[in-house]
Amino acid sequence: MRKKTKVALAALLAALLCLLAVLPASANSAESYWEGVNASGVLVTDGECPLVVEHETLTFDIAEFPANHFGSAKDYLAYDASVTAEYTFYNPSDMTVTANLLFPFGINPYYAEFYNSELGEYVTPDNASKYGAQVNGADVDTVIRHSYWGGSLYDFDPAEEMAKLYSDYRTDSFLTFDLPVYIYTYSVSGVDRETYRSARAATYFDGALEKTRFMLEHMSGYSSDENGNAGFASVHLSDPEITVYVFGEDAGELKWEFYENGSLETRIEGSMSVVDKTSTTFGELAMQCYDPAAGIAAHDWFNAIVAQLEQSGKPIGLYGGVVNDWDISGHLLQWYEYQIKIAPGERLTNTVKAPLYPNIDGGYDVPIYIYEYLTSPASLWKEFGTLDIYVNTPYVMVKERKGEFSIAPGEWIKTEAGYELHIDGLPERDLVFTLSSTENPKRVFNAYSVLMLVLILIVVLVPVLAVALPVAVVILIVRAIIKRKKRKKTQQE
């Protein structure tokens, strides 16, 4: 049995070595995947809207692929791939309908920024305002709106996300613009950092404080009571000073205890003293990184900060941490907002055009570009008719990376202009298609990919061996017992 085990392990090792020998290696082990932007079609803010969508035409104009990094604003603004959604609306009711419409088109992609040497920072120019909406071929006033986004667009809930858009500064939250904020700076001393490199300081809260909220810099853990009120929070002691934000009524200085690590089991020596205290308002705090030149409405910025803190809020009374140094720009979902007016029995054509930014996967011999468009939110309309999809491109549609969300390439009709697809109603799954400059891009593995593949094989095979070997042992033992009994019986005869 020992020999068989060695043979099995030797075979596994040989297979892994052969795999390493035949896998192509990438000369570049740097970043190879860049997130793009999803769109999800036009939505109506009034859920009781009687309008029906008789027909939709989706047109993807992809004459060029984006760069994974743009070197200048000029290069970025020259990029012109876009998606156009054209809707035929019909009003079956006996009243004139004025509908406020929203078209979400994602956050700014990571690769759509460039370094501005004059400012000394990375910036993303406004490439969305050159597009917008039309009704019956005439331009309509379109406003670009922004809301906080902290999830995946595959978890996109239209009603939940639209509720984050307000016409003014929010007043329905504890975090109002004029809310007082007290900022305490604590200095840490008396902690043996050489011995306790994972030291923590913990402070306990009074869950009964209804008019006070807290936020701790470097927070590493927290607890809450059965009612969800904050019990304690712990912080890393990586810096000699800790900042604590107190929102609402001033609760005074906090009391601290010190522990050797995050388990908060073994107490150690240490002390915390207030070295500075300032006060401000939440509005001033939230707007400190706001740039009026960025094309974001001030109230959208403020409301996004509020939404982020509410979403990251841990137990009641405790927020999750400083919001990217109060810069929310990397977490803003963009929307086109506009209105249409349609009389009883009238039909009109509404067109919305938005920039198109795919996910870029550079882990192939030539990059592949994954385009995603969420069609499922259109099911919220009272009725939805037919859907025509056109992909105007000189590139090749290749096998999907995310088949669970995709329409199979074989279902598309190849045309001189690119590809097209015609559907009655909505597709069963959201639209995903992948383009490449060649028909058969080959996956290229770098050292990291090879290591991950080896680890996956080990994780898969070790449990199998762990089950198979004991079974084999039992079988051999049973066979040995049977043979032994047979020998004894033969000897007795």
Residues 92, 98, 100, 103, CA torsion sign = positive
DSSP annotation of 263: T
Q: Is the residue at 169 inside a domain?
A: no
Q: Is the residue at 216 inside a domain?
A: yes
9 pLDDT above the threshold of 60: no
- pLDDT of 415 reads 95
The proportion of the chain whose per-residue pLDDT surpasses 90, expressed as a percent, equals: 42
**CATH number of the CATH domain containing 361:** 2.60.40.3680
- pLDDT of 467 reads 61
- Segment 12-30 mean pLDDT: 39
pLDDT tens digits for range 271-298: 999 999 999 999 999 999 998 888 899 9
- pLDDT of 119 reads 64
Domain end, chosen from 286, 308, 326, is at 326
- Segment 388-408 mean pLDDT: 78
247 pLDDT above the threshold of 90: yes
- pLDDT of 11 reads 46
Q: Is the residue at 420 inside a domain?
A: yes
Q: Please, which residues bridge with residue 182 across strands?
A: 246, 279
**What gap in Å lies between CA 246 and CA 215, rounded to an integer?**
7
Would you say 182 and 246 are in contact if contact means Cβ atoms under 8 Å apart? yes
**What gap in Å lies between CA 193 and CA 195, rounded to an integer?**
5
- Segment 446-474 mean pLDDT: 63
Residue 399 has a CB neighbour count (10 Å cut-off) of 15
pLDDT tens digits for range 193-236: 889 999 999 998 876 678 899 999 888 888 877 777 777 889 98
CA-closest candidate to residue 337, choices 163, 57, 127, 141: 141
- pLDDT of 175 reads 94
Hey, what are 370's tokens?
A: 């994954």
Domain end, chosen from 310, 326, 342, is at 326
Hey, what are 140's tokens?
A: 């309509």
- The phi and psi torsions of 362 (rounded to 5 degrees) equal -90, 10
- pLDDT of 12 reads 42
245 pLDDT above the threshold of 90: yes
Q: Is the residue at 171 inside a domain?
A: no
CA-closest candidate to residue 231, choices 337, 111, 168, 317: 317
- Segment 376-393 mean pLDDT: 88
Same domain, 344 and 361: yes
Same domain, 390 and 460: no
Would you say 145 and 249 are in contact if contact means Cβ atoms under 8 Å apart? no
- pLDDT of 218 reads 84
Range of the domain at 253: 180-326
List all residues 6 or more positions away from 223 whose beta carbon is below 8 Å from its beta carbon.
Answer: 230, 231, 232, 233, 315
Q: Looking at per-residue confidence, does 87 or 48 come out higher?
A: 87
Q: Is the residue at 241 inside a domain?
A: yes
**What gap in Å lies between CA 53 and CA 89, rounded to an integer?**
5
- pLDDT of 400 reads 64
Please name the helix (run of DSSP H) or strand (run of DSSP E) that holds residue 271, with its range, or none: strand 271-281
- Name the average pLDDT for the chain: 81
Q: Is the residue at 172 inside a domain?
A: no
Same domain, 46 and 156: yes
- Segment 78-97 mean pLDDT: 92
- pLDDT of 352 reads 94
Same domain, 322 and 367: no
Same domain, 226 and 271: yes
Same domain, 248 and 308: yes
Strands 318-319 and 212-216: parallel
Number of domains composing the chain = 3
Same domain, 357 and 467: no
**What gap in Å lies between CA 59 and CA 392, rounded to an integer?**
7
Residues 398, 400, 406, 407, CA torsion sign = positive
Same domain, 257 and 350: no
How far does CA 104 lie from the centroid of its chain? Answer: 15
371-to-40, 86, 407, 432 alpha-carbon distances in Å:
12, 18, 12, 6
pLDDT tens digits for range 313-347: 777 788 876 666 788 888 898 899 999 999 999 99
- pLDDT of 83 reads 93
462 pLDDT above the threshold of 70: no
CA-closest candidate to residue 79, choices 116, 118, 108: 108
Hey, what are 1's tokens?
A: 């049995």
If pLDDT is split at 50, 70 and 90, which confidence band does 191 have?
Answer: very high
Residue 149 has a CB neighbour count (10 Å cut-off) of 22
- pLDDT of 260 reads 93
Q: Looking at per-residue confidence, does 179 or 73 come out higher?
A: 179
Q: Which residue has the tokens 């020999």?
A: 3
Same domain, 392 and 302: no
The type of residue at 448 is Y
Question: What is the layout of strands, in order, in the sheet containing 97-104?
Answer: 43-44, 97-104, 332-342, 143-148
Q: Please, which residues bridge with residue 436 across strands?
A: 368, 396
- pLDDT of 280 reads 97
13 pLDDT above the threshold of 60: no
If pLDDT is split at 50, 70 and 90, which confidence band does 473 have?
Answer: low
List all residues 6 or more positions away from 193 whose beta carbon is below 8 Å from its beta carbon.
Answer: 199, 237
Q: Is the residue at 388 inside a domain?
A: yes
459 pLDDT above the threshold of 50: yes
Would you say 229 and 260 are in contact if contact means Cβ atoms under 8 Å apart? no
List all residues 6 or more positions away from 216 whose beta carbon is below 8 Å from its beta carbon.
Answer: 203, 233, 235, 242, 243, 244, 245, 318, 321
Hey, what are 485's tokens?
A: 């009994």
Domain end, chosen from 301, 326, 351, is at 326
Alpha helices in 281-410 (DSSP H): 282-286, 298-312
Q: Looking at per-residue confidence, does 259 or 46 come out higher?
A: 259
Same domain, 288 and 261: yes
Same domain, 366 and 247: no
Q: Is the residue at 360 inside a domain?
A: yes
CA-closest candidate to residue 340, choices 131, 42, 40: 42
If pLDDT is split at 50, 70 and 90, which confidence band does 29 have?
Answer: very low
- pLDDT of 5 reads 44
Same domain, 465 and 410: no
- pLDDT of 157 reads 81
**What gap in Å lies between CA 201 and CA 243, rounded to an integer?**
13
